[in-house]
Structure 1
Amino acid sequence: MSSIDGGDIRKLVVACDAGMGSSVMLAAQLRRELRKMPVIVEHHAIASIPSDADVVLCQAGLADRVRAGAPRSVVVGFRMFLGDPAVARVVAAVKQGGVVVGTTGG
């Protein structure tokens, strides 16, 4: 399992399987929440996750595919697009410090 200190996160990617729906809204929400932090928030399809992504957020069921496509990134799976504790932990680690731990399994 991989991890990263919240203060070391410079690029956060929200990855999706195909669409441009809820994951785009989550990326926009995270951009607003982290606008004062030195973090770039982007949205990408799983097939095009940039190699410099520090953390990749994705639906839990997609985590194995994301890990295969972004092996150097910390992958955090979530279950809900709004109000998910895993997403809240990443935001808190960026803002207040702490470690982001990648999730295992899908």
Structure 2
Amino acid sequence: MSSIEGTEVRKVIIACDAGMGSSVMVASQLAKRLKPYSVKVEHTPVNEIPADAQVVLCQTTLVSRARKANSSAVILGFQSFLGDPVFDRVEQAIRDGGSLAD
């Protein structure tokens, strides 16, 4: 299990499988939300998560693959591309402080 203080997060990855565009949209929206906190948000295939990723967000069905690709990052799954509470949770931890853990 990995954890990080929200105030230490500088890089968030949105990982996907099929590359159908939904995850690119999520990455763009989250980048706008996290820009005031100097957090970089990138989109990448789940099998190519960079080593410097601190927090990885992906569909819950991809969590185990994401952990294999990067075992040191906090891996958080989501059910829905729109309105999933995990996005608010990440923003709140970064904005207000607090721990993020998988």
Measured against the shorter chain, the TM-score band is over 0.9
Q: How does 1:82-101 map to 2 (within 5 A)?
A: 82-101=82-101
Contact 2:47/2:65 (8 A) holds in 1: no
Question: 1:21 offset after TM fit, Å?
Answer: 0.9
Distance in 1 (alpha carbons) for counterparts of 2:87 and 2:65: 19
Please say if 1:39 is aligned against 2:36. Answer: no
Q: CA deviation at 1:57?
A: 0.1
Alignment partners' CA distance in 2, 1:16 and 1:37: 24
Q: Secondary structure at the match of 2:64?
A: helix
Q: 2:78 aligns to what?
A: 78
1:20 CA displacement: 4.0
Give the distance between the partners of 2:71 and 2:93, measured in 1 at CA: 21
- Counterpart residue identity of residue 2, structure 2: S
Higher-helix-fraction structure: 2
Distance apart, 1:62 and its partner CA: 0.4
The CA distance in 2 between the partners of 1:11 and 1:44, in whole Å, is 12
Counterpart-to-counterpart distance in 2, 1:18 and 1:44 = 11
- 1:33 to partner: Cα distance: 0.5
Q: Give aligned pairs, total.
A: 102
For the aligned residue pairs, the C-alpha RMSD in angstroms reads: 0.9
Q: What percentage of residue pairs aligned between the two structures are identical?
A: 50
Task: Give the deviation of 1:81 after TM superposition.
Answer: 0.7
Partner SS, residue 66 of structure 2: helix
Shift of 1:101: 1.4
Written as runs of structure 1 = structure 2, the 5 A alignment for 1:1-106 is 1-102=1-102
Q: How high is the TM-score relative to the length of structure 2? A: 0.95
List gaps (5 residues or longer) in structure 1.
none
| Runs of 4+ in structure 1 over 2 Å off | none
